[in-house]
Amino acid sequence: MTEAEIQAAIHDMGRRARAASHALVRLTTEDKSRILLAMAKGLEEGSAPILAANARDLEAGRQKGLSAAMLDRLKLDERRLGQIAQAVREVAALPDPVGEVLAQWQRPNGLRITKKRVPIGVIGIIFESRPNVTVDAATLCLKTGNATLLRGGSEAIHSNVALAAALQQAGEAAGLPPDSVQLLPFTQRSSVEVMAGMDQHLDLIIPRGGKGLIEKVVSCARMPVIKHYDGVCHVYVAPSADLEMACEIIVNSKAQKPGVCNALETLLVHREIAAQFYPRVAVALRQAGVQMRGDEQALPLLGEGAQPASEEDWRTEYLDLILAIKTVASSREAIDHINAHGSHHTDSIISTNADEVAQFLHEVDSAVVMHNASTRFNDGGEFGFGAEIGISTDKLHARGPMGLAELCSYKYLVEGSGQIRA
């Protein structure tokens, strides 16, 4: 196919997705639940072609020399497919946010205004290798009445095509409008640009993947993009902190799952407690296998194995068992450091001083600000959202954990009895 033919094909998919979105609006909560349960069953009962497609991707991956870790992320088997199907059943069981009345009031002229939650319309999802994202994204979008146009990475193309076909086929048998779940059969880099340019068909794009992918989408998208950028997360230990609690929270924030965006990257410690606290936390961090990179004041107190930190460390998301450590003279300095060097993701203060806590929570400009808690709690599941499509680092529309409600828009219903404007 030529570039022009690919472009025309993607535009046609966009047009059909828009038509599907209008049909999706007419489904009830019960309709959507029935369809989601049918999809879950379809994934399990139709596992043979999905696993065969996945075997092709794995074979191609081995030939391309993908790492064992990447091959493992790509791999599907009956057990994993069962887990994916189970997650779909859980989405089906969640409350439906669509139709919720967000506000209602009457104007002096008698007009009654209702602000109601509605689907967004058509959502484009651009993602990298993991094939479970196909199912995850499509079903969360369907639950909220949105049509999806999915574009996955080349490593998982056969698996993705098979999964999307299974979802659409099982869904249609249960009443899903045609074209509600479409996966691009193209993995050319230009297909991202085509999607990002068609704001007449897509209301939103969500890139799920590394910084390069997000950057690519941001640079060419004409429609809103919800970004899930880095988490350069901080814990600040104030002089009044319970130091035992601080050690536990720091180790948990850093080491419980270091490869994720809500893991701790920079520790800030008030200088008043430096001499007392650094040796203590260093023991706990060493025990957890964490490499320390400290500033001048911290370094001699951290002991064995600690390295000097550079300016670059204050802006780095390691996603690894490495921790930058800086000493500050005040909570003011801690707040300013976080606002200037962080990524506005998740920041926590360990303190027992109410005024200082209130100031930190108020002035740190991050999606989630915490007191005496691990940064790892910035998560849709931990917030009780039931499901999440990611953790937004944007400030518009969705900030922080992005659940079903954030996959919706709203509209106003204005009911009158002949009112005209004077």
Assess 410 for contact with a second copy (CB under 8 A): yes
Tokens of 188: 């050319």
Shortest distance, CB of residue 60 to a second copy, whole angstroms? 35
Candidates 68-76, 156-164, 319-327, 372-380 — which segment interacts with a second copy by CB under 8 A?
A: 372-380
Taking the C-alpha atoms of residue 191 and residue 188, their distance in angstroms, rounded to an integer, is 6
**Binds a second copy (CB under 8 A): choice among 41, 80, 89, 399:** 399
- DSSP symbols for 247-281: HHHHHHHHHSSTTSTTSEEEEEEEGGGHHHHHHHH
Name the residue nearer to a second copy (CB basis): 55 or 405: 405
CA 373, 376, 381 angle in degrees (round to 5)?
Answer: 105
**Closest alpha carbon to 275 in 302, 295, 293, 254:** 302
Assess 414 for contact with a second copy (CB under 8 A): yes
Name the residue nearer to a second copy (CB basis): 27 or 164: 27
Shortest distance, CB of residue 165 to a second copy, whole angstroms? 28
Taking the C-alpha atoms of residue 324 and residue 268, their distance in angstroms, rounded to an integer, is 9
From residue 397, give the alpha-carbon distance in Å to each of 198, 229, 339, 383. Answer: 20, 15, 21, 18
Name the residue nearer to a second copy (CB basis): 123 or 170: 123
**Binds a second copy (CB under 8 A): choice among 147, 334, 373, 402:** 373
**Closest alpha carbon to 351 in 265, 262, 243:** 243
x/- mask, a second copy, residues 16-55, rule CB under 8 A, reads -----xx--xx-----------------------------
* Through-space distance between the first and last CA atoms of the chain, rounded to whole angstroms: 59
Scan residues 104-143 and list those touching a second copy (CB under 8 A): 105, 107, 111, 113, 120-121
Shortest distance, CB of residue 287 to a second copy, whole angstroms? 15
Burial code (b: 16+ CB inside 10 Å, e: under 16) for 9-46 equals bbbebbebbbbbbeebeebeeeebbbbbbbbbbbbbeb
Shortest distance, CB of residue 344 to a second copy, whole angstroms? 9
Assess 249 for contact with a second copy (CB under 8 A): yes
Assess 12 for contact with a second copy (CB under 8 A): no
Q: Which residues contact 60 (CB under 8 A, 6 or more apart)?
A: 155
Name the residue nearer to a second copy (CB basis): 207 or 401: 401
Scan residues 198-227 and list those touching a second copy (CB under 8 A): 199, 203-204, 218-219, 222, 224, 226
Q: Which residues contact 54 (CB under 8 A, 6 or more apart)?
A: 74, 75, 76, 131, 158, 159, 162
Candidates 71-79, 177-185, 274-282, 394-402 — which segment interacts with a second copy by CB under 8 A?
A: 394-402
Tokens of 141: 């979008």
Q: How many other C-beta atoms lie within 10 A of the C-beta of residue 315?
A: 15
Shortest distance, CB of residue 46 to a second copy, whole angstroms? 33
Scan residues 302-341 and list those touching a second copy (CB under 8 A): 336, 339
Scan residues 54-83 and list those touching a second copy (CB under 8 A): none
Taking the C-alpha atoms of residue 90 and residue 104, their distance in angstroms, rounded to an integer, is 31
Q: Count residues contacting a second copy (CB under 8 A)?
A: 66
Which residues are at the interface with a second copy (CB under 8 A)?
Answer: 21-22, 25-26, 105, 107, 111, 113, 120-121, 199, 203-204, 218-219, 222, 224, 226, 242, 245, 248-249, 252-253, 256, 336, 339, 361-363, 365-374, 376-378, 382-384, 394-397, 399-401, 409-421
